Structures are given as structure tokens and as C-alpha cells.
Chains A and B, each alone.
Chain A
Amino acid sequence: MTGKSIRKGIITAYVALYVAILYFPVLLLPVFSFNDSATPKLPLAGFTLKWFSSLSSNATMHNAAWNSLLVGISAALLSTILGICAARAITRHRFAGKGIASGLIMAPLILPEIIIAISLLVVLLGAGIELSLLTVILGHLLICVPYSVTVLVSGFEGFDPSMEEASRDLGETTWGTLRRVTLPMLAPSIISSLLVTFTISLDEFILAFFLSGTEPTLPVYIWGQLRFAAKLPNVLALGSVMIAASLIMLTVAEIVRRRAEARTAAKT
């Protein structure tokens, strides 16, 4: 064996270990949610579905799930619309102050969520707005838009602006061009953005915790349940369902995005 192949072997092993550790905690919850024991410990006690079946009759949890769904769908739709505006301006126009505008829009990516949460809380309460699912949606929009922009910028970069020009030259109105050229071309990125932002909203805890008032979303509900040790297996079962849902949505988003990318790559 040469030095080079030994080095490559070591680094491959390291990467494999890294990915395994990355996934270990994520996959651990599902394992223990099927475990027939009230506390998560080794060795495993045997297979059961009882933690899942007790979820199906839990009305408070269903309410929280409904809230999460409502918040997630609203945040996904609205942040994707805002994301389209931002991504279009960033990719198609040159203007002074673009860096500042896009910097502010993208800032929630790097700001601690607690800062965003308390600032919004103080302003909303100061304005006399009562905390509700609406205020959670307002908060989630702030953190979803940057991800939506990231996905959509690559969507806009993937298609030729001359198609829009051609449509306008052939007599389409601005709205007609948007509806019949831009949006269809962007469709994969839009779907991808909707799925990704929905997942982010579904999993988001801090903003929901501060802004939800008396209407909990799923993570806020889980947080409340953590005080009761006896409820842990149910929480693990719920968590497994949420992880599975997130994984499915993210995978679909990625497949849609890649297929669109392959299609544009084949054309050029």
C-alpha cells in the first residue's frame, strides 16, 4: 500500500464515523419509540407499538399537530412568496443598497433565535397584539425567508432571463410572463422552498415558545411534556413521527431540485 492510499483509507473511515455519529442521535429516538420499556435504556426490552397507539387518542397532541400544520403551511407559502421577490431582485437587478437589503433579509440565519424572539415579543406586546398562532407565523416568516431565498436564488440562476424577454417581446404582459414563463420555470425551486420552509417551521421551537401564547405547536407541546418522565416514551414516538416527516419532505425537496438541475444542465 502506498502512502496515498493509506491516507485516503484513513480519511474515508473518518468520514464514515463522522456521518454515523451525525445520524446516531437522530435514529436513536425511533429505536426507543418501539422499545417496550418506560425508560430509554439498554439492552432493548422488546418491540411494541403501544407508544404510537396512545398518541392516536391524545387530543391535546392533535390540537398541537393541527396548530403546527396551520403555522407550517402559512409560513411556507408566505416565505416562499417573499423569497421569490428577494431572489428575483438579487439575481436579476443591479441596484445600490442591494447588499444592505439582502443582508438584512438573510440576517436571521446567523442571529441567535432568542434575540429575534425577545425583540418580536416586546414589540408585539407593546403594540397590544395578543400572542397567537398568527404571531408565531410572523416570527417563522423571518427565519424561513433566508432559506427560501437560498433555494430560489439557485432556481433563478438556473434559467436564462432571455426567455422572459422573449415572452415580453412577443406581446405577453408582465403578469402573463410571470404566470406562463417565470413561475413554470421556477416550479421545482418553489416546491423545494415550500417543503424546506415547512420543515423548518415544523421543527422550530424558540420563536414558537416565546410567541405562541396559549396555542402550542408540536415542539412547544413536546417541551411541556418533558417535565413528566412517564410521558417520555410518548414524546419519543411523536418525535419519531416528526423526524420521519421531516426526512421525507427534505428528500422530496432534494429530488425535485436535482431533477430540475439535471434538466437545465442537459439543455445547455
Chain B
Amino acid sequence: MSGEVSRRLSAGAVMERTTGKWLRSDAGQGWLTISPPFVYALLLLAGPILVIIANSFWTQDYLTIDRTFTLKNYREALTEPIYRDLLFRSLFVSVAVSIVTVVLAYPVAWFVSFHGGKYKGIWLFIITVPFWSGYLLRILSWKVILGFNGVLNTGLQYLHIISEPLSSLLYNVNAVIITLAHSWAAFAILPLFVSLEKVDRTLLEAAADLGDGPVRRFMRITLPLTMPGIIAALMIVMIPTVGDYVTPKLVGGKDGVMIANAIQAQFGKAANWPLGAALAVSTMIIVGMLSGAMVLLLLGLKRLLR
């Protein structure tokens, strides 16, 4: 009996000693240090997302939720024409915005990296500042610019370039794309800049010495080498914009409504959490698959360029 107890005690002591040892090791210290933010993200991000995924398989039964497993919400989210249209439009908008943003931002990132000299940091600061200041306010500002009696229309009328205000500026998909592309411009520059900084300049010199012109040098060296940055910039813009709520609401009108507006409605007025959850999960899965396809496409393109 006492032998059993002492064996258990010594086993406990060994375990304590090994955990103590682990806690003092580099790995233990690392986990210990990162645990406050990690546990926070686990409890308030990973956990809640799992709850949303679970919700998407349940059914709203008036005020209560029926927790028997069903795929009904997904069927509704993916086949109901209104949701399908909203989903398609959101994907179209996010792909368009990410491509426009990256194409327009690339030359700027290139300029800062290759010609920024010692002012690179200041350039990056100047370019990223608008991104940090007032998300809602910037969208509001585009509404003021593009409105029927807005700055652009009244300005053009004042200059006698047009006689009637253009009604096609606001409340459509284009307005949504312009506003989002502007909102995310600065964010796309950072990954592009980082990858451009990594391009070995001696490769470009070597190509120049061997007689390659600037276009050929760019296509065969800079572009393939910065492909990781291009992919990162596309993803960093595409994934968040697919779920944008404010821009479609403020400048989209009824033709510019996106999936986030439908998701919000399910968690608000319509009060059908499981359907809202299924819409959210479907959107994330589809945008994830789309991102994957885009990455493969760009990696293939990279191989072709070389």
C-alpha cells in the first residue's frame, strides 16, 4: 500500500520535474510567452468561428435553434437565386478590386523600391496613411464625390463639360469597385514593396550587360521574382473585400448589394442565424477555393515567364 503511494508520488514528482523542465526550455518559454494572445484568439476567434460553422448545420425554429444536423441552409444559400446572385457579385467585385488594386499599385511599389533612395520609409508612410484613417469616412467621401448632386457632377457642370448630371456614377457595382479599390490601395503596396526589395539587383545588371532591354528584364526577372508579393497582395485585398458591408450599403444602391448585406440581415432583422452562418461559411469556402485557383494560375504563369 505504502509502496503504491510512494510509487505514485515519485511518478508525480518525475512528471512535475519534466513539465518544470519543459517550462524552462526554449519551447516551453515560447509557448508560455505566446499563450496570452494565443488563448485570447483561440477563445474569441477560433472558438466563435467553430460555433458559426456548427450553427450553419442547425435550423432556426422561431426563437429557438433546432440542433439536429441538416444541410438545408447550404442548399438554400447555394441554390436560392438571390443568394447565388449576391455571392457571384461579391466574388466578382472582390476579384476585380484585387486585380485593379494590384495592377495600379505595382508601379508605385516598384518606384518606391527602385527609386525611393533613402526616402523609402517616408514614401511608404505617405502611401499607407490614408488606409489607416477613417474607413467609414473614406466611403462617405466617395458617396459625396460620385452622388447625383455630388462633387464630380457639380464640378463638371460648373466647368461646362456636361450640362446634365450623370446618374450612372453612384449606386452601382462600378461605384463599389472604385471605392473598394481606393480603400485597399495602400494595403496592396506593402507586400509588393517587400517582395521588390528582395529582388537581387545584380541579376538585373547582369541581364542588362547581356543585352536585355528594360521590358525583357522586367518580364523575365522582376515579375517572376515578385510573384509571391503579387499573390500576397491579391489575397490580402480579395479575402477581406468579399465580405465588405459598408461600401455596398453606402455607394452600391440596390444593384451593388453584396453577400455581407444578406449575412447581416440574417443576423439582424430576418433573425435566421443558421442561414446567415451558412452564407458566411459558403462565402469563405468559395473565396478560399478561388484564392487557391488564383495562386496556382499565377505560379503557372511564373513558370511560363522563365
Contact = CB atoms under 8 A, between A and B. Distances in A.
A123 B37 contact: no
B126 interface: yes
Given A95-B31, A111-B240, A118 B276 contact: yes
B45 A107 contact: yes
Given A41-B151, A95-B31, A111 B239 contact: yes
B158 A42 contact: yes
A250 B110 CA distance: 24
Interface residues of A, number: 87
B41 A239 contact: no
B267 A121 contact: yes
Contacts of B224: none
Q: In the complex, which range does the number of interface residues on chain B fall in? A: 35 or more
Determine chain A's interface SS by DSSP, over half rule.
Answer: helix
B174 interface: no
B70 interface: no
Nearest to B54: A122
Determine chain B's interface SS by DSSP, over half rule.
Answer: helix
Interface string B45-82: 11111011001000000000000000000000000000
B134 A242 contact: yes
Contact of B48 (A4, A119, A258): A119
Interface stretch (B1-9, B142-150, B193-201, B292-300): B142-150
Interface in B149-182: 149-151, 153-155, 158, 182
B137 A239 contact: yes
B95 to A, nearest CB: 15
Nearest to A222: B136
A138 B134 contact: no
Given A93-B33, A205-B246, A250 B149 contact: no
A122 B27 contact: no
Contacts of B111: 11-12, 14-15
Contact of A39 (B29, B44, B149, B276): B149
A258 B122 CA distance: 10
A199 B132 contact: yes
A118 B243 CA distance: 12
A151 to B, nearest CB: 12
A219 to B, nearest CB: 5
A267 interface: no
B227 to A, nearest CB: 19
B235 interface: yes
A266 interface: no
Interface centre among A22, A39, A203 (most CB of B within 10 A): A22
Contact of B133 (A21, A26, A101): A26
Interface in B254-298: 260, 263-264, 267, 273, 276-277, 280, 283-284
B138 A25 contact: yes
A109 B51 CA distance: 20
B14 interface: no
B129 interface: yes
Contacts of B144: 28-29, 32, 40, 236
Interface string B97-136: 0000000110110111001000001000111011011111
Contacts of A7: 214
Interface centre among B41, B52, B150 (most CB of A within 10 A): B41
Contacts of B33: 85, 88-89, 92-93
B250 interface: yes
B45 A94 contact: no
Contact of A258 (B121, B155, B244): B121
Nearest to B48: A119
B243 A115 contact: yes
B129 A205 contact: no
A123 B51 contact: yes
Nearest to B239: A110
Contact of A82 (B28, B40, B242): B40
B26 A94 contact: yes
A79 B138 CA distance: 25
B37 A145 contact: yes
- Which 7 A-B pairs have CB atoms at the shortest separation, nearest pair first? A112-B243, A93-B30, A119-B48, A89-B34, A95-B30, A25-B141, A95-B27
Given A11-B110, A145-B41, A246-B132, 13 more contacts: A25-B142, A41-B153, A85-B33, A101-B34, A105-B41, A115-B49, A119-B51, A122-B273, A123-B44, A138-B44, A199-B132, A223-B136, A247-B129
8 contacts: A19-B127, A89-B31, A104-B45, A105-B38, A112-B242, A118-B280, A210-B267, A226-B140
